[in-house]
């Protein structure tokens, strides 16, 4: 039985006048509602209202403070937010509720605060057919316009799994029987030779701070991507791409 789903686990909130207009113009996206700060007007606001009306999307007014809270960004919301339905986004707990249909290979993002990295990982993982990407609400860049742009819009369609923190996600996954693997340059276990079994979680941590303590305590094994030419490591988004396509290669084999 699945839990009641929070709006944060159903929608990607887009903020800013141009991003909201772009979302309204994309007929492949289902926009639930648009919220505009009270007293805000002008040609662009009128254009947003008309675009919403053309698609029979409700427009609500709220205080400027409320709009900032909904956007989660006090500097760039420009008084406008829109909730876009993310069809494949759901709570991690719901994804694990039925073991017969639970995801096989999962990425867990831990402490990745650079939107470009998060967006590129979402795009690559979706392209490679990864079953789930855990994007915690805390400690990781939010699914905002910067992440959406870096993902080339794939963030709206990616199989995102939500949890409160990476530590809570690690606990849920290990209790569900998933081994957690961390990428570590000095590991003696080669990514291309390791046996991961039918289900596995690959943790992608901050390039500067590494993994959070709660996650590190649950790592079963570290694995390394072979490096040559004196290169110590890859950017986290590039490392994620290597892992994703190695998993795809194994599945196709």
Q: Using one digit for the tens of pLDDT, what is the confidence trace for 162-210? A: 999 999 999 999 999 999 999 988 888 999 999 998 999 999 998 888 8
pTM (whole model) above 0.85: yes
Which of 123, 124, 122, 157 shows the shortest CA–CA distance to 140?
122
Q: What would you report as the CA-atom Rg of the chain, rounded to the nearest whole angstrom?
A: 20
Predicted confidence (pLDDT) per residue in 88-126, tens digit: 999 999 999 999 999 999 999 999 999 999 999 999 999
Instruction: Give residue 158's pLDDT.
Output: 97
Residue 24: pLDDT over 60: yes
Q: What is the mean pLDDT of residues 121-143?
A: 97
* CA dist list (Å): 14 to 46, 80, 119, 192, 251: 18, 8, 14, 39, 35
**DSSP-assigned beta bridge partners for residue 80:** 36
Give the C-alpha separation, 233 to 163, whole Å. Answer: 28
CA distance 26 to 13: 15
pLDDT at 6: 83
pLDDT higher for 103 or 4? 103
Burial of 124 (0-12, 13-18, 19+ CB in 10 A): buried
Average pLDDT, the chain: 93
Residue 3 has pLDDT above 80, yes or no: no
Domains, in order of start, for the chain: 7-85 (3.30.1330.30), 90-252 (3.40.1280.10)
- Binned at pLDDT 50, 70 and 90, residue 74 comes out as low
Rounded CA-CA distance 251/178 in Å is 18
Is a pLDDT exceeding 70 seen at residue 57? yes
The pLDDT tens digits of the residues spanning 208-222 come to 888 999 999 999 999
How far is residue 238's CA from residue 140's CA, in Å, rounded to a whole number? 17
Q: 3-class DSSP state for residue 80?
A: strand
- Is residue 1's pLDDT more than 50? no
Measured in Å, how far apart are the chain's first and last C-alpha atoms?
35
Quote the crossing angle between the two packed helices 115-127 and 236-252, to the nearest 10°.
10
> Cα(232)–Cα(37) distance, rounded to whole angstroms?
49
pLDDT digits (tens, 9 = 90+) for 225-241: 999 999 988 999 999 99
Question: Which of the four pLDDT bands, split at 50, 70 and 90, describes residue 73?
Answer: low
């Amino acid at each position: 039985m699945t839990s009641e789903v929070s709006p944060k686990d159903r929608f990607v909130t887009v903020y800013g006048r141009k991003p909201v207009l772009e979302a309204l113009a994309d007929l492949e996206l289902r926009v639930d509602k648009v919220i505009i700060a009270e007293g805000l007007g002008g040609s662009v606001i009128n254009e947003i209202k008309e675009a919403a009306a053309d698609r029979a999307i409700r427009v609500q007014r709220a205080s400027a403070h409320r709009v900032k809270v909904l956007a989660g960004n006090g500097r760039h919301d420009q008084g406008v937010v829109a909730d876009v339905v993310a069809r494949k986004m759901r709570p991690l707990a719901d994804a694990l509720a039925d073991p017969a249909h639970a995801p096989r290979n999962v990425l867990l993002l831990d402490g990745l605060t650079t939107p470009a990295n998060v967006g590129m990982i979402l795009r690559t993982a979706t392209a490679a057919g990864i079953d789930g990407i855990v994007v915690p609400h805390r400690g990781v860049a939010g699914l905002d316009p910067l992440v959406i742009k870096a993902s080339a819009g794939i963030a709206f369609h990616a199989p995102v799994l939500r949890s409160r923190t990476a530590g809570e996600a690690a606990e849920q996954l290990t209790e569900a029987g998933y081994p957690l693997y961390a990428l570590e340059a000095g590991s003696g276990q080669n990514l291309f030779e390791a046996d991961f079994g039918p289900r596995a979680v690959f943790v992608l941590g901050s390039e500067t701070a590494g993994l959070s303590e709660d996650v590190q305590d649950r790592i079963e094994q570290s694995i390394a991507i072979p490096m040559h030419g004196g290169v110590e490591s890859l950017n986290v988004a590039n490392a994620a791409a290597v892992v994703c396509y190695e998993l795809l290669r194994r599945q196709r084999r």
